[in-house]
Amino acid sequence: MDEIKLCMTTLTHKRIWIKQPLAIFTGNQLDARNGLVIQDQKIVELLGKDQLPSLPCDEVFDAKDLVIIPGLINSHHHFYQTLTRAWAPVVNVPLFPWLVNLYPVWAKLNPEQLHLATQVALAELLLSGCTFAADHHYLFPQQLTDAIDIQVQAAQQLGMRVMLTRGSMSLGQEQGGLPPQHTVQAMDTILQDSERLVQRYHQRGAEAMVNIALAPCSPFSVTPEIMRESAQLAEQLDVRLHTHLAETLDEEAFCLEKFGMRTVDYLESVGWLNARTWLAHGIHFNADEIQRLGQAGVGICHCPHSNMRLASGICPTLDLMQAGAKIGLGVDGSASGDASNLILEARQALYLQRLKYGAEQITPELALSWGTQGSAQLLGRGQELGQLAPNFQADLACYKLDDLKFSGSHDPIAALLLCGADKAEHVMVAGQWQVKAGQIQGLDLEELKFKHRAAAKALLAA
């Protein structure tokens, strides 16, 4: 009871000692066995064995029953897809027919549905221990041209950090693309709105809560022209670039037929082969392409649940890392990786990558680092997020190991993934507890679920 009472204290301008955790994963080699001290949104001290805070603390939070890790970071998602989870017509199909069936449904989205879908995705992520989430929204039908504005509002209500990418589709079926014609936009419209959103919402600096990036959807849904123009605009505005690439063999075949080149050659031809870029999936690369991606500093978001659900393949994570690329984790859209749970995504990454590289090389600590430090680097926030270290932002997740499935476990860090932790006990974002005792503060979750279910039914009935 004392733990919960302390947890509810507002931390602004106060020093709080999160004392003597059961275990702590800092994401680096720093010793924090005796806990950490937080003040004004930042971590100001890590305390090694028997070390005490250098100054008196206003609050002491007893963490003896908690495993603490940096806040998890989701580097690829499609929030709106929470409305089409486990939809029967696409349960058993690969990516291209999955998309062809879902595009017409998604094109009917209205503002209220998107707001609900975004809140559900963020709430589920937050409860899993996620503190920063990137979304790739590329659907802007006539009734939803202010989609990113809606998402900013939804995120602010939950107190989460977000990287909202202004996606786009400009290559419709009439031009040989995959999306229906009524879901594509003109290039000028896309670029003007992209610049508007960056100017209005993009925050800079360590404390930023909202970032904006530019994100043409995929080679099979946008023109090379919008890829080139987006790259130039991103450089001009100093924001990041994101797209899907090399997810399936169908995509590889599409690029060869449409553009006469493989996906990485296409990426280079449109000015995207640089450190500003991070890619979703990144499965089907050959050895030369892996070296080129690493040398260019391109980031790759591994989405294991989605890749298994759609039978797309396995991302060559270690090969990419050895070449110099950064690896992060993403839950992907909830209609392909149907749960928006990042701690379970880390577990799935651990197991899927062991199939490729063996048990000795893929450790729980490595999988957790992909979901923390790796994702932070992908999103351009590696200097202030993704680790527990002095001067890093106070974003962290705390887990209890008191469920039956943890009984008999010995290594608390390994137990998070091996025993299947699926919810956080407490989650802090920018020094504020947004989840306490497993409950999101200020959110009526039952009401949200009721409204979201009704919206999902209405979308499919439209």
- The arithmetic mean of pLDDT across residues 10-30, rounded, is 88
| Dihedral over Cα of 139, 142, 148, 151: its sign | negative
Question: What CA–CA distance (Å, rounded) separates 333 from 342?
Answer: 12
Stretch(es) of the chain classified as CATH 2.30.40.10:
2-71+393-440
Task: Evaluate whether 67 touches 23 at the Cβ level (below 8 Å).
Answer: yes
Q: DSSP letter at 370? A: I
| Dihedral over Cα of 380, 439, 39, 400: its sign | negative
What is the predicted pLDDT for the residue at 334?
87
Confidence check: pLDDT of 12 > 60: no
| pLDDT, tens only, 39-87 | 999 999 999 999 999 999 999 999 999 999 999 999 999 999 999 999 9
What is the predicted pLDDT for the residue at 305?
97
Question: What CA–CA distance (Å, rounded) separates 420 from 346?
Answer: 10
- The arithmetic mean of pLDDT across residues 435-452, rounded, is 98
* CATH 2.30.40.10 holds for 2-71+393-440: yes
Question: What CA–CA distance (Å, rounded) separates 184 from 215?
Answer: 14
Task: Evaluate whether 419 touches 404 at the Cβ level (below 8 Å).
Answer: no
| pLDDT, tens only, 173-218 | 888 888 888 889 999 999 999 999 999 999 999 999 999 999 999 9
Question: What CA–CA distance (Å, rounded) separates 340 from 123?
Answer: 9
- The arithmetic mean of pLDDT across residues 423-440, rounded, is 98
Angle, helices 187-201/147-158, rounded to nearest 10 degrees = 30
Measuring CA to CA, which residue among 83, 203, 74 is closest to residue 134? 74
The CATH architecture annotation of domain 72-378 reads: Alpha-Beta Barrel (3.20)
Going across the sheet that includes 15-19, the strands are: 42-47, 35-39, 15-19, 59-62
DSSP 285-345: --HHHHHHHHHHT-EEEE-HHHHHHTT-----HHHHHHHT-EEEE----TTTS----HHHH
* The residue type at 107: A
Q: DSSP letter at 71? A: P
Stretch(es) of the chain classified as CATH 3.20.20.140:
72-378
Count of helix runs (H) and strand runs (E) in the chain: 16, 18
